[in-house]
Amino acid sequence: MAEWMIALGVFWETVFQHPGAKWAGIVFSSMMIVMLVTFRHHWGDFVPHHLYSMIVLLFVAGFDYLSGVWWSLWIYLITLGVLHDRDSTKKTVLSTLLFFGVYTLLQYGFSISDSFSDVLNAFLLFLAMTLMTIYLRRARARTEKIKEQNRRLLEKVDEAHSRLHEYIEELEETSRRDYLTGLYNFSGFQEQVSKSLARCSVAGQYYYVICLDLVDFQQVNMKEGINAGDQMLVQIARLLKKKLPPYAQVARYDGDQFAIGLTGDDSAMRLCLDTIETVIGGLRTERSLMNYCIGTASYPMEAQNESELIRLAEHRLSIEQRRIRHQEEERRRHLEKLSAVGQLAAGLAHEIRNPLTSIRGFIQISAMESPEVKKWESIMLPEIDRINDLLKQFLHLSESRPARYTLFNVDRLIDDVFQLLQPKAILMGHELKSYAPTSPVIIEADAEQLKQVLINLVQNGLESLQDKGMVSVRWKEVRDRISIRIQDNGSGIPPEYMSRIFDPFFTTKGDGTGMGLSICHRIISEHGGQVHVTSQPGRGTTFNIHLPIRQAGKKEREQNQPEQETPALSKLNRSEVVERVNMLKNF
């Protein structure tokens, strides 16, 4: 080793005799030391570590030999510390011994004993640098370990934050959902409408809110139970989500109310309304009690924000609800009147018809025997017959026989009505005209009762005509119902009489009994239908009849209801008849 170092020294002395070459060697060695130390992590991957350390040591030794400065020791120390800052303890000790040996040989040669104190000081400095390097390496290792632990902790914290955020979003989403159907509740629906309106305002689109209320839901709960009502709500929610477009927002709130929000034009609105009718119409085949009312509002024509939009739809829904409740109250009141009239009619029929027959026979016998009575016979007998006709109408009003439902062609039924009334119309100088649909309409109903209704209404129309008038009948099938319109261009009904036309005994005809429209109203109601009247004095009257095409729910109700005993009409005495007459005066 010593010989090798001496030979290397002689070589360096020979090469660097010239001062310029010497300084060039010093600068080159310095640059290589800096580059090797700076890029040690990049270049060290291509050269074995011990070889890389030897190359660095070679340039350090060259710098030391050429410069001969006293501070070259610090070059050794700094290079050693920087070069081995991440090596193991064993490699650091070996490199220290190697650096110390090269430094000692270059500075003191083999006469170490002559400069023992200097060598010892240098050794202590190398030892101190080695210990410091080992300590720094271990401190760095601990720091890296702590950083790794902190990184893992941060990952765990981020993961916990992410799970917490997902949980909060899940809770918020749950709070926006209806517990039974999974649809949005009212607050969730408001939020969705607000977001949709923000998008519509940017894109210039229209937005609609439709509020839906199940009118007979409370009756379903009372008759079939709460579980059946809940199942019905779930079924409606499922069908609405399935049949409506994916972008429609559907909500359920206040028990039996639904709300739908959707973006689009009028066709999208009509599609939504048709879908609602399809869903509810499908459930009508399973349950007889299934009616609804709706309220709608549109953005931006009628409202400018979600609160105004929903409030307007709710307001229109409440108006429709009040109208339906009023109709139900009027229907109930009218049925109570008819019930009272029916019981009175039964009593009157029993108490009056038999004595009336006796009176009529007595008058006929007396007229044959007495000229004085004969001259009054033509007056008394028609009046008695008129009373008898009135009693017959009373009896017809009180009839409680169950309707005989059959399938028949409405077109043929109306043809029969026209053939029956056409001679009367011709004699009166008026015209009867029918407007049949393109395809036949088949309905399930009591044909005789429906025929009676049509005869009564067409005949009333003929009697209201003046000069040469016309009565027209139109009918058509609308979804699961049939619509029949009887229209005349007669004198019309005064507005003050419109609310009383279906009341028993109310009539504006001089020879009328006021029972015809009451009987018509009862028949239509028993068929599960409705009748509406519009009239303008001097322009005519229109009766609109709406009947269900199928009566499955109706027959099912009649089968489930216990048979009611027909009151023993013959047991009514005069005091009961008087009491019922007094009761009718209160209507």
- How much is the pLDDT for 474? 92
What SS3 string covers 523-539?
A: HHHHCCCEEEEEEECCC
C-beta atoms surrounding 133 within 10 Å:
24
- Torsion, Cα 127 132 137 138, to 10 degrees, reads 100
Separation of alpha carbons 576 and 344, rounded Å = 9
Instruction: From 307, 304, 277, select the one nearest 291 (Cα to Cα).
Output: 277
CA dihedral (360, 366, 367, 371) positive or negative: negative
Is the per-residue pLDDT at 442 higher than 80?
Answer: yes
Contact 250, 336 (CB under 8 A): no
Q: What is the mean pLDDT of residues 250-276?
A: 88
Residue pointed to by tokens 């009176």:
359
Counted residue by residue, the chain has a size of 587
**Tokens at residue 138, please?**
């271990």
Side-chain-facing half-sphere of 375: CA atoms under 13 Å: 2
| Contact in structure between 302 and 292 (CB atoms under 8 Å) | no
Angstrom distance (rounded) from CA 473 to CA 417: 11
Whether 320 contacts 295, CB under 8 Å: yes
Q: How far apart are CA 446 and CA 433, in angstroms?
A: 24
Average pLDDT over residues 259-274: 88
Which pLDDT band, with edges at 50, 70 and 90, does 585 fall under?
Answer: very low
CA 548 to chain centroid, in Å, comes to 28
Does residue 186 have a pLDDT over 50?
A: yes
Burial class (CB in 10 A: 0-12, 13-18, 19+), 29: buried
Whole-angstrom distance, CA of residue 476 vs CA of residue 478: 6
The predicted pLDDT at position 84 comes to 67
Specify the 3-state DSSP secondary structure of 297.
strand
Q: 447-488: per-residue pLDDT in tens?
A: 888 988 998 899 888 888 888 889 999 999 887 789 999 999
Which of 460, 461, 470 lies closest to 429, judged by CA?
Answer: 470
pLDDT in tens, 103-150: 777 666 666 665 666 667 677 777 777 777 777 777 778 888 899 999
Q: What letter does residue 490 receive in the DSSP assignment?
A: S
Structure tokens of 340?
């009272």
> Where residue 152 falls among pLDDT bands split at 50, 70, 90?
very high
Q: Could you tell me if 345 and 395 are in contact, meaning their C-beta atoms sit under 8 angstroms apart?
A: yes
What pLDDT is stored for residue 568 in this prediction?
A: 37
| Gap between the Cα atoms of 243 and 214, Å rounded | 18
Residues 6 or more apart from 75 whose CB is under 8 A from it? 33, 60, 63, 64
User: Nearest 10 degrees: CA dihedral of 335, 337, 342, 343?
Assistant: 120
DSSP state of 513: -
**Residue 587: how many CB atoms within 10 A of its CB?**
15
From the list 242, 260, 349, 271, the residue with the least C-alpha distance to 297 is 260
Mean pLDDT of the chain: 76
Can you read off the two tokens belonging to residue 347? 């009593």
Residue 327 has pLDDT above 90, yes or no: no
Instruction: Grade residue 49 by pLDDT with cuts at 50, 70 and 90.
Output: low
Burial of 105 (0-12, 13-18, 19+ CB in 10 A): middle
d(CA 259, CA 294): 9
pLDDT tens digits for range 536-547: 888 889 999 998
Helix (H) or strand (E) holding 208: strand 207-214
pLDDT at 45: 61
pLDDT tens-digit readout, 332-355? 776 676 666 666 666 666 567 667
Q: What is the DSSP letter of 29?
A: H
Percent of the chain with pLDDT over 90: 10
In which band, very low, low, confident or very high, does the pLDDT at 565 lie, cut at 50, 70 and 90?
very low
Residue 210 binned pLDDT confidence (cut-offs 50, 70, 90): very high
Cα torsion 518, 520, 521, 523: sign: positive
How much is the pLDDT for 326?
Answer: 82
